A and B are shown apart, each in its own frame.
Chain A
Amino acid sequence: GENVEQHPSTLSVQEGDSAVIKCTYSDSASNYFPWYKQELGKRPQLIIDIRSNVGEKKDQRIAVTLNKTAKHFSLHITETQPEDSAVYFCAASPSGGSNYKLTFGKGTLLTVNP
């Protein structure tokens, strides 16, 4: 089955700096890659996702890049703010329909220091 590795497990940055979280996956059938943010005591919230037909997607301060050949994808957060502090999870799945099955990385605890 799919295996998703996520690094680093913890990341501490100063407010205004950039943060990068990296994930690798094993199953070449995976072509959907979402990122979720989970604040303490709350549900995971989708922040951005990318499908295998594009290499990069951006939404304001957040961007995701995908390298299908190397089987890795990354989350980039620019101009970090204290409210970005949370656990971030990457995930991978084959496309929708009956093959959909999200496999998550173990998470990255991001701390943004004011």
Chain B
Amino acid sequence: KAGVTQTPRYLIKTRGQQVTLSCSPISGHRSVSWYQQTPGQGLQFLFEYFSETQRNKGNFPGRFSGRQFSNSRSEMNVSTLELGDSALYLCASRSGGAGETQYFGPGTRLLVL
């Protein structure tokens, strides 16, 4: 099976802009979670989508949003970008049921100038 893929891999934006990141989960996986990774804060949970519904949410402002499509692909959107949003954004997929093993994508590195 192909692994989790993310596009784009690198992105440069300026403050105030918005950005959309995409994640394709492993085939058959219905759960997609998003994480923000920074040197200072480490890996922080953003949200989880399962069957097109947000099932869980971390402690991030409303500027961070997401959605999931019927084919389980997910997008994450950040509006009104701030310098502090510069980070590696990782998505991870799992089956979503009783199995908990989660597999990460390669990440999208976002730089906000």
Interface residues of A (CB under 8 A from B): 1, 32, 34, 36, 42-46, 49, 89, 91, 93, 95-107
Contacts and interface: CB of A to CB of B under 8 A. Distances in A.
Contacts of A96: 94, 96-100
Interface in B62-113: 90, 94, 96-107
Which of A49, A93, A102, A106 has most B Cβ within 10 Å? A102
A46 B42 contact: no
Contacts of A91: 43
Interface residues of B, number: 26
A89 to B, nearest CB: 6
Contact of A93 (B50, B96, B100): B100
Contact of B107 (A34, A43, A95): A43
Interface of B: 31, 33, 42-45, 48, 50, 55-56, 58-59, 90, 94, 96-107
27 contacts: A32-B100, A42-B106, A43-B90, A43-B104, A43-B106, A44-B43, A46-B101, A46-B102, A46-B103, A49-B101, A89-B42, A91-B43, A93-B100, A96-B99, A97-B96, A98-B55, A98-B56, A100-B56, A100-B100, A101-B45, A101-B48, A101-B56, A101-B58, A102-B33, A102-B45, A104-B42, A104-B43
A47 B70 CA distance: 31
B45 A103 contact: yes
Q: Which 10 A-B pairs have the closest CB atoms?
A: A104-B43, A43-B104, A96-B100, A106-B42, A44-B104, A101-B56, A43-B106, A32-B100, A96-B98, A98-B55
Contacts of A105: 42
